[in-house]
A and B are shown apart, each in its own frame.
Chain A
Amino acid sequence: MNFERIQEKLEILADAAKYDVSCSSSGGNRKNKGGLGDSHASGICHTYTEDGRCVSLLKILLTNHCIYDCAYCVSRKTNDVKRAAFTVEEVVDLTISFYRRNYIEGLFLSSGIFKDSDTTMERLVRVAKKLRLEHNFNGYIHLKSIPGASDELMKEAGLYADRLSINIEIPTEKGLKLLAPDKSHSEMIKPMSFVKNELILYKEEKKIFRKVPRFAPAGQSTQMIVGATNETDLKIIKVADHFYQNFNLKRVYYSGYVPVLEDSRLPSIHSQVPMQRENRLYQADWLMRFYGFEASEILDPEQPFLDLEVDPKLAWALRHREQFPVNINTASREMILRVPGIGTKSAGKILMARKFQKLGMDQLRKMGVAVNRTKYFVEFESSNVFSKFIDDQNLRKILLSGMSSKYQNPFSQQLTLF
């Protein structure tokens, strides 16, 4: 192998793939029977980039040659960049060699569209197939489906990949038309609903036949770029919710737009990456997936943007003071989860521990609850001097002054948000 050439390609094709924020390798469940690798429900971040994002997969493009011209993309046809293409064998070798050294959990393979959708998709599938069949590789494989790929290829992709995704990129149809004139909304939705239907079918068949070949066991995900067009947070959350409800998506990723190209349709090249906004969107997303919040509870048309100062759960609590204080020793799981500063883990601890004894502030602190926020929203058997603040007009200010604005990484697997 010519390592110099491979290195050059790797540099180009990793660089071009880095804007895809999907990193997780969770949800796979492949066992290793004498071959190489396995994938567990929760993947492992093997390292973190200097921007603080988790690295768990070898994330590369097969090629950055592309016949399309999406404005927000560095690989677009009219952008003057170095182009490269891996062979199937090269991607397979890199994946295996990195995996054997415990650098990665698997492969995330995406591609520019060269020639046409099916040719590109077929090449991606070939990589996955070779890894599985010839190398007995059971690590994680995430394939980015190519918009417009045929059902047959999507079907095959699902047999070898753990997860499939198509990036929506731009949350509204109008925005998409503007920035990605070659792509059509329906072309992007079609493979998604195909995958959804296959997933349902698989579940059904599994009930009847024991040995149905598995289909994309880790489901599908998508990504939306935030801040490239001027959609509201409400719109973004609604779109995400729609995908969760109707396409059985496992994850929606939010990617603050990184200005890389000069284009009149895009924010200026000097604009800031909207990191805080992106972070708040992840928090809102978590509220929908793990905390029992409805999209409509998080934002409404009067307030279409997330509060950048306080997290969405705290913002909700401040708007709904009548629901507080919550009695830690008697309240339902649902309500305990709504208390600012209490995450799903500490909620679980509280529910178990209170079977043994009545709990107070001290125990909450020891369980790792962020009591500096929580204390205003809870009550116990013994009195809690802070709970009277719940009716105080200035509670928001009091809370803000007590919070160090520590920025938390939205990509982190070990996200502890609330």
Chain B
Amino acid sequence: MTTLVYDGSFEGLMTAVFEVFEYRYGVARIIGEENHQHHAFFDEVHHVSTDNSKADRVIQKLETGLGRSGVRQLLLVYLSERQDAGDLILAAVRQSVKNPGADILQNFGDSDIMEIAKICKSMSREIHRLHAFVRFEELEDGMFFAKVEPDFNVLPVGFRFFKDRYADQKWMIYDLKRQFGIMYDLKDTTFFYPDAGQLDRLRNPDNLYSEREKKYQKLWQRYFTKTNITERKNMKLHTQHVPKRYWKYLTEKG
């Protein structure tokens, strides 16, 4: 069996898929650098160097076979950061090549495809939670800033929502876990990767708040308390909908 090791990028992964076919590997695994351990030393290891043109060809081929939504699903699998993401994607691509014209991502009786469907479902849930639980805080310069820490890497697919919705305000969402953010300047969105000094301020922006920020937060907290019907209190249901790990970023829980 051959193990293809790629650099962790989506293009790298797609290049690896290309090379499985290019070199006609029979049984193969695709694994990201960060997950590759050398315990499998008896494997044949193939280091992939990312090649955008190869990646593009795979993506285009997939688009014709599975449509844009199919490619998006595979992208979600990649962003799930699961160790076996590469293997599942390879399995799907192989099925797609074997069954031209069929939307093999609907073959829910197949265990790899069902696994992909499951991953997409939990990714969508996490994207939905990103949209729901982002809490912007207004900074002195008028920027609306939010910190997030999603379970999977959903910001790259989830940020569009904020661009559509908050077209007339500057905003910035920062992923604490993965240490990158997305910034919107009333025109474009850009990824940013803060240096150590910036990072510190992003973690503790307290003294950057606008004067009224705390007041609106207080209003929201009071609203949250007052809109509750105590006679119907049901904390089990509550935490089922708002898992505790999100609480620290929720203004109403402050």
Contacts and interface: CB of A to CB of B under 8 A. Distances in A.
Chain B contact surface mostly: helix
B237 A52 contact: yes
Contacts of B164: 32, 38
A46 B165 CA distance: 14
Nearest to A46: B132
A10 B133 CA distance: 22
Interface string A1-36: 001001100110011011100000000000011111
Contacts of B223: 10-11, 14, 58, 98
A332 interface: no
Interface in B225-253: 226-238, 240-242, 250-252
Interface residues of A, number: 57
Interface stretch (B59-67, B73-81, B106-114): B106-114
B237 A409 contact: yes
B227 A14 contact: yes
A15 B240 CA distance: 24
Chain A contact surface mostly: loop
Given A11-B226, A14-B226, A35-B167, A101 B132 contact: no
B109 A357 contact: yes
Nearest to B134: A102
A355 B105 CA distance: 12
B137 interface: yes
Interface residues of B, number: 53
A353 B241 CA distance: 30
Contacts of A17: 227
Contacts of A333: none
A366 B114 contact: yes
A103 B233 CA distance: 21
Given A14-B226, A36-B168, A412 B216 contact: no
B219 A356 contact: no
Interface in A19-67: 19, 32-38, 44-55, 58-59
A10 B222 contact: yes
A38 B160 CA distance: 12
B238 A50 contact: yes
Contact of A52 (B131, B165, B215, B238): B238
A330 B167 CA distance: 49
A28 to B, nearest CB: 12
A59 B227 contact: yes
B231 to A, nearest CB: 5
Contacts of A367: 108, 114
B135 interface: yes
Contact of B106 (A35, A352, A363, A412): A352
Which of A136, A349, A354 has the most C-beta atoms of chain B within 10 angstroms of its own C-beta? A349
Contacts of B215: 3
Contact of B231 (A3, A33, A55, A273): A273
Contact of A363 (B108, B222, B229): B108
Given A14-B223, A52-B237, A409-B237, A37 B165 contact: yes
A14 B227 CA distance: 6
Given A50-B228, A94-B219, 13 more contacts: A14-B222, A35-B167, A36-B165, A38-B164, A44-B131, A46-B133, A53-B232, A102-B135, A258-B231, A353-B107, A356-B110, A357-B107, A363-B108
Interface of A: 3, 6-7, 10-11, 14-15, 17-19, 32-38, 44-55, 58-59, 94, 97-98, 100-103, 136, 258-259, 273, 275, 349, 352-357, 359, 363, 366-367, 407, 409, 412
22 contacts: A3-B219, A11-B222, A14-B222, A15-B227, A18-B229, A35-B168, A45-B241, A47-B250, A47-B252, A50-B233, A52-B234, A53-B232, A100-B144, A100-B166, A102-B146, A103-B220, A103-B251, A353-B108, A356-B106, A356-B110, A363-B109, A412-B241
